[in-house]
Amino acid sequence: MSSSSASPSAAESLEVTSTSAVTVHGPSSVPDAGYHMGVVPEVVHDSPAATPVKFYQVGSFAVGNRLLPVSERSVQSDPKRFNSLTSGHRACQGCGEALGARYALDAAMRAADGQLVAVNATGCLEVFSTPYPETSWRVAWLHSLFGNAPAVASGVAAAYKALGRDEIRVVAQGGDGGTVDIGFGCLSGMFERNDDVLYICYDNEAYMNTGVQRSGATPPAARTATTQAVGADPGNVFGQGKDLPRIAMAHEIPYVATATVADLHDLEAKVTRAMSMRGARYIHVMVPCPLGWGTASCDTIKIARLATQSGLWPVFEAEYGEVVASTPIRRQVPVEDYLKGQKRFAHLFNPVRRDEVIDRLQAQADRNIRRYGLLPEAVSPTLPPIAEEANT
């Protein structure tokens, strides 16, 4: 593909196609803008990494792999899976990060045929999986400091490139603290250089390993150890934090995606697609934390699903700065349904219900629904007045 001065703008060239399974934002022609370092890619995917399978026996996506052809079953259903993060680790019961790391690394290992090096930032994942002298990792694994995992991973990739070992792939991983805050500079540098690394952020929305302190990914109004539910505006303040998937898109890297542990096939498919590409790639995964969020350990998947179905956590894919696919909301729920199951938001309902805060969070979800086309246009939330939008 090549660009042309006669090509339409990025906004004009996008054709949005909605189905019951996915919304595809496919470029009708290659736009002029949106390509890393001005290089137009040879391939831009025009379909999502995963298409949800409907199991008609129960009318849901809840049934396991037994009705699928073997080639379409999840990596986790394979008895010969790599078990990259194996049993014996010390994660809390119901830990979303342990699930996310196991799903993602096993998918990456299969895509790389076992030729993989994982670089880990400091955080829950590193601590619960490697209490000296033990380890739960069955993959070449490296840990250095809290904030330099992207830089270390870039160095590992450069070393293997210098050795002519292009078959060995590199994955870096960390929590939201080591990604959104402490490692942000190194991550941005990795994106800017377009280093051949897949970085996966397991986002549990706070510094859980050190006592549930606020991070740049902590949502507004959430209670943490450093944003207590006290005062006139209890919980985390509005207007702060970082939307890192969109920041990654601004770097115009080859691939950016969001996912949750509530959809195993989707997460595995996105990791597989990312591993099929070269250059800097980024996947942002929601991993609920029962301890920090104040949820039942058995509700981890349920909470993650409510986040997507309310619109607070949009699930999408982007390539070279352009959204190419999003997963529509299947059964929309109000944001309140997501909030009520978490003690970190309990102060929004007791002792006095704070409707103004709940409405502001709902407005954020509505904005995501409009921005990523998560509902058909006929039922999508309408744009609020400018003054109201400015306050959300």
pLDDT surpassing 60 at residue 78: yes
Lowest mean per-residue pLDDT among 1-5, 125-129, 325-329 = 1-5
**What is the bridge-based pairing of β-strands 322-326 and 316-319?**
antiparallel
Region for 329 from its dihedrals, namely left if φ exceeds 0, alpha if ψ lies in -120 to 50, beta otherwise: beta
pLDDT per residue as tens digits for the range 353-375: 999 999 999 999 999 999 999 99
Taking CA atoms, 331 is separated from 59, 90, 263, 382, in Å, by 13, 35, 15, 18
What are the structural domain ranges in the chain? 10-357
Tell me which residue of 176, 181, 187 sits closest to 288, measured CA to CA. Answer: 176
pLDDT surpassing 90 at residue 79: no
Sign of the torsion formed by the C-alpha atoms of 344, 348, 349 and 355: negative
* Number of DSSP helices (H) and strands (E) in the chain, helices first: 13, 10
Dihedral of the alpha carbons of 87, 148, 75, 90, in degrees to the nearest 10: 20
Q: What pLDDT, on a 0 to 100 scale, did the predictor assign at position 370?
A: 96
Enumerate residues 6+ apart whose C-beta is below 8 A from 31: 3, 7, 8, 9, 10, 13, 14, 322
Lowest mean per-residue pLDDT among 51-55, 209-213, 387-391 = 387-391
pLDDT per residue as tens digits for the range 13-48: 333 343 345 666 654 344 444 455 566 676 578 788
pLDDT per residue as tens digits for the range 41-52: 765 787 889 876
Enumerate residues 6+ apart whose C-beta is below 8 A from 228: 234, 235
Taking CA atoms, 153 is separated from 14, 18, 236, 250, in Å, by 34, 37, 32, 21
Query: In which band, very low, low, confident or very high, does the pLDDT at 145 lie, cut at 50, 70 and 90?
Result: very high
| Percent share of the chain, pLDDT over 90 | 75
What average pLDDT does this structure show over 162-184? 97
Lowest mean per-residue pLDDT among 30-34, 138-142, 150-154, 353-357 = 30-34
Tell me which residue of 239, 129, 121 sits closest to 185, measured CA to CA. Answer: 121
| Percent share of the chain, pLDDT over 70 | 82
User: Average pLDDT over the chain, rounded to whole?
Assistant: 87
The H or E element containing residue 336 is helix 335-340
Task: Specify the residue for token string 């352009």.
Answer: 322
Fold that domain 10-357 belongs to in CATH: Rossmann fold (3.40.50)
pLDDT surpassing 80 at residue 325: yes
The model scores a pTM over 0.85? yes
Tell me which residue of 139, 273, 286, 262 sits closest to 206, measured CA to CA. Answer: 286
Q: What pLDDT, on a 0 to 100 scale, did the predictor assign at position 69?
A: 79
The count of C-alpha atoms lying within 13 angstroms of the C-alpha of 55, restricted to the half-sphere facing its C-beta, is: 12
Q: What pLDDT, on a 0 to 100 scale, did the predictor assign at position 149?
A: 98
Q: Specify the 3-state DSSP secondary structure of 5.
A: coil
Q: What pLDDT, on a 0 to 100 scale, did the predictor assign at position 46?
A: 79
